[in-house]
Amino acid sequence: MKFNYLFYLLLAAIVVSCNYNVTKKEENSKTKPLSSIKKDSVTYSFVFLGCNRVDRHQEYDSTATNASTANLYAMKRIWNEVSNLDKKPDIFFFLGDMVLGESNTVKLDSQLKAWVELYNDTSFSGISTSGIETVAVPGNHEMLYYHDYGVPNHDEWPLKGATKLWMQHMKEFIPKDREVVTGNDSINNQMTFAFRRKNIGFILMNTDTYNSPTTKNPHGLEGQIPTNWIINKVEAYKKDSSIDHIFVLGHKPYYIYNAGKITPETGHEGLPEGPILWPKLRENDVIAMLSAHKHDYQRMQPGGDKTYQVIAGNAGSPGEATFFGYTKIDVMSSGEIQLTSIGFDKGDPYYTAAPNSPSTIRDQTILTKIKNSNPYFK
């Protein structure tokens, strides 16, 4: 009996000792700094793209499009893929050339109306019920018309009435809490605006503004960007302690990669603004200028470091792009900015599916690196 008593006493002591050690381990784990056990996570994300409209040869081709003049195959695939992502983006930015337009207000009115109907058609895609905020700015195909007046290197002109039609049909894709251009810089400013989401400042530019005809320019001029207002907004966001990241978005890019060189473009292919804006973007640590217009996907760091130029004009319009798709940016809890371009091969013709082409990552990098050793051009 004495042996049994000693045995049970020893066993009880062992159990108490084990429980004490477990409790101390649990207490120690609770006192560790949160940063040492918490993994980096996405705090905010958005996708951007532009240029999905079909070519003029397919305007009335029902195998390619409908009254919206959107590339139906590419648009449906992109909208559904984005809507079904495990981690849905918070915003979907559409950066112009969503319709063919570039003709007259009758066509533009019909095409924009049909595009909105397509967006809201739940039998076509789940984008309208996904909970993702969609924000859009126009491109040259929404704001201009094509005509050869014999002016060298100039065949696009401001389409009178385009601004009114855009604001009428696309109002659901313009943030209600936006800040708009005021004062002397308010040239056709309704589609140039800024807004905040969490710790991010977004500045959206209309790069194809309408400006009235003059004696010197009887057909009007496009592209008088409200540069001073944009610069002032960038500088204000930079000084704002609640804003950690700044992005500038618009249809036309500032830089493109062409013939082996990164060059600024102020003609048809680029932002018709001149050499004023980009130095201010770099000076104020803008993460990136995001654009479309060129029917390609390109990522670069003009100057070799700091602000990026990313072109995602590969949403479905014909051109030099080797793949169609969308580009996603994730803002991480660590402050890191991750870019991922996701795409699928173009079909032949371009508005059809390519065989055996799943959507895959085509480019991926960190935009918060001072220098990036992996620029993407093709």
* pLDDT tens digits for range 341-366: 999 999 999 999 999 999 999 999 99
pLDDT reported for residue 374: 65
189 band by pLDDT with thresholds 50, 70 and 90: low
**Which residues does 16 contact at the CB level (< 8 Å), separation at least 6?**
none
* pLDDT tens digits for range 96-153: 999 999 999 999 999 999 999 999 999 999 999 999 999 999 999 999 999 988 887 7
Q: Is 127 within the bounds of a domain?
A: yes
CA atoms within 13 A on the CB side of 252: 25
261 band by pLDDT with thresholds 50, 70 and 90: confident
pLDDT reported for residue 348: 97
Which ranges of 240-283 does DSSP label H, i.e. alpha helix?
A: 277-283
Q: Is 27 within the bounds of a domain?
A: no
Q: Is 28 within the bounds of a domain?
A: no
pLDDT reported for residue 34: 33
211 band by pLDDT with thresholds 50, 70 and 90: low
Residue of 232, 270, 274 lying closest to 250 (CA atoms): 270
Q: Is 293 within the bounds of a domain?
A: yes
Q: What is the mean pLDDT of residues 205-214?
A: 77
pLDDT reported for residue 270: 79
Residue of 141, 184, 191 lying closest to 164 (CA atoms): 191
Residue 250 phi, psi dihedral angles, 5° rounding: -170, 170
Residue 40: DSSP 8-state? P
Q: What is the mean pLDDT of residues 186-205?
A: 86
209 pLDDT above the threshold of 90: no
Which CATH number characterizes residue 115's domain? 3.60.21.10
Q: Is 20 within the bounds of a domain?
A: no
Domain, as residue range, for 217: 44-366
69 band by pLDDT with thresholds 50, 70 and 90: very high
Q: Is 24 within the bounds of a domain?
A: no
319 band by pLDDT with thresholds 50, 70 and 90: very high
- The continuous run of DSSP H or E covering 82 comes out as helix 72-83
321 pLDDT above the threshold of 80: yes
Number of domains in the chain: 1
Token output for 334? 């660590």
How many whole angstroms separate alpha carbon 19 and alpha carbon 25?
10
Q: Is 4 within the bounds of a domain?
A: no
Q: What is the pTM of this model?
A: 0.87
Q: Is 105 within the bounds of a domain?
A: yes
Q: What is the mean pLDDT of residues 257-281?
A: 82
Portion of the chain with pLDDT greater than 90, in percent: 67
